[in-house]
Structure 1
Amino acid sequence: MKTMQYSDEVLDAIIHKKPVVALESTIISHGMPYPDNVSMAIEVEDIIRNEGAVPATIALMDGQIKVGLTKDEIERLATEEGVIKTSIRDLPGVLAKKQTGATTVATTAYAAQQAGLHFFATGGLGGVHRGVADHMDISADLVALSKCNICIVSAGVKSILDIPKTLEFLETLGVPVYGYETDRYPGFYFRETEHEVPSITKEELAKIMKIKHHLSLEQAVHVAVPVPDADAMDRDHIQSIIDHALTEADQRGITGKDITPFLLGHIKDATAGESLKANIALMKNNAKVAAQLAVCHQK
């Protein structure tokens, strides 16, 4: 049964051993409003190409895992009603029903590994939600990263989550975490938290990936990249907004896969769009770094 379909650009890259960077698609369908989502997706792909790599945005369409999207398919994903936010557990059902699905970090990581891709850029990781002892809400992203031998580049864990518990859980799962040219783990909207991580360069990361492959270690490597300084937000300000958003979500009984879009929307409104600006900036920066890492690894 054929369930994976490559774009011509990605297929050519795989055949000719060009560096490829996978991209998730939930950020298009659920992470940003239209038309910001379309322009962001196209700009991110162009950034990767400009760095000498090939972008592979991944989504589910017509019963296939699409590895690499055309501009028309990106537009479809951004505007179609009822696009399914698809994590690993949802993948067989969405494919069987031939629904349109946007891939989360977990599903993108799985698809990237199946496609033989080694690098993946996203905005922020899912993780352990605050108050986890009461509801056990832990993103499937983390478990997927323990099984997918890729390098995932992000601006850290989304600020709405419990960052220290997420880092602890990644350690339990055997997923190494590095800061890209920084020894402080970033806070998504702001540049650094108090949590220390080993700093890494692209040359060091290339060696680590090669050695991991030689050792047959199947866990991902997480490279955390701080949001560009010009686009970073004040930590105390954004944290107070997040706390208020979490309180409102709890009062309204919003949980599960609905909570992240709700919180991000609340934060966007409360910051008069500044959080969206930071989100777009960090996504572009992550794509640039991931492409540079992929090119260095290929060399």
Structure 2
Amino acid sequence: MTTVTTFHLHYGSEVAEALRAGRPVVALESTIVSHGLPRPDNLRVAREIERAVRDAGAVPATIGMVGGRLVVGLDDAQLSRLATVDGVTKLSVRDLAVAAATGADGATTVAATSAVAAAAGITVFATGGLGGVHREAAQSFDESADLVTLARTPIAVVCAGVKSILDVGATLERLETLGVQVVGYRTRRFPGFFVTDGGFDLDWQVDSPEQAADVLTAREQHGVHPGGLIVANPLPVDEQLDRDLHDRTLADGLALLERDGVTGKAVTPYLLAHFHSTTEGASLAVNVRIILRNADLAARIAVAAATRRAASA
């Protein structure tokens, strides 16, 4: 695939052409490829995610860094590289410049992907789940950069809420403080990633991709909101992780955290590894279902938004 360079960003040729033509594009993160899924499943699933976007009528733009080049729309060789080589760095927004200057290979987090996508003119992003406020954050001040980034980044993020290993209530409170709008997709309950219902109400819901696109259109027309929009897309009840298994695994994992003294950035990968091993891969299967469903919905929203822009041109 030919790469087109514009200022500091490098575009895959298909993505560059789609953006020029006003066709729908969906941003995708690369941390799920390099850090979120085990090899060799990670590359297969990454290709499935891109295919889900295409099948719903949009162009996938997986974002990542290859040899210091920040690419919007990785080609298959670049995607394979991030999926298979060792030493791929997990990049948040603050890391991008240093990683570029040092020629690093890097996978972009939700925060970095959102920021780069918005800079590239992409308005819809599909991911699995957001980062959030960690448990015991009152003492540790541990909060994902996803939240602050979304407060200043004009992008719609389709996700399945936040993982239940986080403090879900505090995360929603923080999003409210930061002015980040959260709408449920066909629900007034905030999803809990592995489980359909995360235990908290939402003020708003949208019932179709077209209605979500109307929200994006209204935000653009008003011109008064610089931040992101979260479209919380829950798993159907019959596709969630067994609730009793989830609750038992979470309780055991939190106890192990305390026993082993795990803190900071190590908490999330520790607990996710615990879920994977304890559920014998069931949580991983749920994770894959989540991102495929979110990719499909994000593409449909992007198609509806592009149709509205074309109609008003």
Report if TM-score (shorter chain) is over 0.5.
Answer: yes
CA distance in 2, matches of 1:252, 1:114: 41
Match of 2:169 among 157, 164, 171: 164
Give me the whole-angstrom Cα distance separating, in 1, the residues matched to 2:41 and 2:243: 25
Shift, 1:231, TM fit: 2.3
How does 1:180-219 map onto structure 2 within 5 Å? 180-197=185-202, 198-201=204-207, 202-216=209-223, 217-219=225-227
Aligned residue runs from structure 1 range 98-109, under 5 A: 98-109=103-114
2:50 matched residue in structure 1 = 45
Superposed displacement of residue 269, structure 1: 0.3
Asked whether the equivalents of residues 228 and 281 of structure 1 are also in contact (C-alpha less than 8 Å), the reply is no
Aligned length: 299
Native 8 Å contact 1:154 1:224 kept in 2: yes
Counterpart residue number, 1:64: 69
Write the deviation string for residues 129-157 of structure 1: whole angstroms up to 9, x where unpaired.
01111201000000000011010000111
**What one-letter code is carried by the residue in structure 2 that aligns with 1:19?**
P
* Cα distance between partner residues in 2 of 1:2 and 1:259: 37
* Unmatched 5+ stretches in structure 1: none
Instruction: Please point out which of 175, 190, 206 is paired with 2:180.
Output: 175
Paired with 1:86 and 1:251, the residues of 2 have a C-alpha distance of 29
1:148–1:218 Cα contact (<8 Å) kept: yes
Q: Residue 259 of structure 1: which of 261, 267, 276 is its match?
A: 267
Within the candidate set 210, 229, 232, 2:240 is matched to 232
Aligned equivalent of 1:274, options 269, 282, 286: 282
TM superposition shift of 1:3: 2.3
Q: For residues 130-149 of structure 1, what are the structure 2 equivalents within 5 Å?
A: 130-149=135-154
Q: Which moved more, 1:141-150 or 1:209-218?
A: 209-218
1:244 aligns with 2:244: no
Amino acid at match of 1:27: I
Deviations 1:155-175 (A, max 9, x none): 111121111110000000000
- Once residues 305 and 76 of structure 2 are traced to their aligned partners in structure 1, the CA distance between those partners, rounded to angstroms, is 28
- Equivalents in 2 of 1:2, 1:99: separation in Å? 19
Q: Retained in 1: the 8 A contact 2:92–2:109? A: yes
Equivalent of residue 155 in structure 2, options 150, 155, 163:
150
1:83 and 2:91 correspond: no
Identity over aligned pairs, percent: 44
Instruction: Decide which structure has greater strand share.
Output: 2
Q: 1:115 deviation in Å?
A: 0.3
Deviations 1:256-295 (CA, angstroms, capped at 9, x unpaired): 3332222111110000000000000011000001001111
Structure 2 equivalent of residue 291 of structure 1: 299
Tell me the CA shift for residue 208 of structure 1: 1.3
- TM-score with structure 1 setting the length: 0.96
Asked if the contact 2:185/2:231 (under 8 Å) is kept, the reply is yes
SS in 2 for 1:291: helix
Q: Which moved more, 1:130-139 or 1:267-276?
A: 130-139
Contact persistence 2:185–2:233 (CA under 8 A) = yes
Contact 2:42 2:83 in 1 (8 A): yes
In structure 2, distance between residues paired with 1:258 and 1:19:
37
Deviation at 1:113, TM superposition (A): 0.5
Given residue 20 of structure 2, which amino acid in structure 1 is its aligned partner?
Answer: I
Question: How big is the alpha-carbon RMSD for the aligned residues of Structure 1 and Structure 2?
Answer: 1.3
What's the CA shift for 1:50?
A: 0.7
The answer to whether the 8 A contact 2:135-2:166 is kept is yes
Aligned counterparts of 1:72 and 1:233: Cα–Cα separation in 2: 33
In the other structure, the counterpart of 2:310 is: none
146-155 or 232-241: bigger deviation = 232-241
In the TM superposition, what is the alpha-carbon distance from 1:44 to its structure 2 partner? 0.6
Q: 1:194-234, CA deviations, whole angstroms, 9 ceiling, x for partnerless residues?
A: 31112212222212111111222111000000124442112
SS in 2 for 1:107: helix
Secondary structure in structure 2 of the residue aligned to 1:52: coil
Q: Which amino acid aligns with 1:40?
A: V
Using the TM superposition, give the Cα deviation of residue 239 of structure 1 relative to its aligned residue in structure 2, in angstroms.
2.4
Letter in 2 for 1:200: V
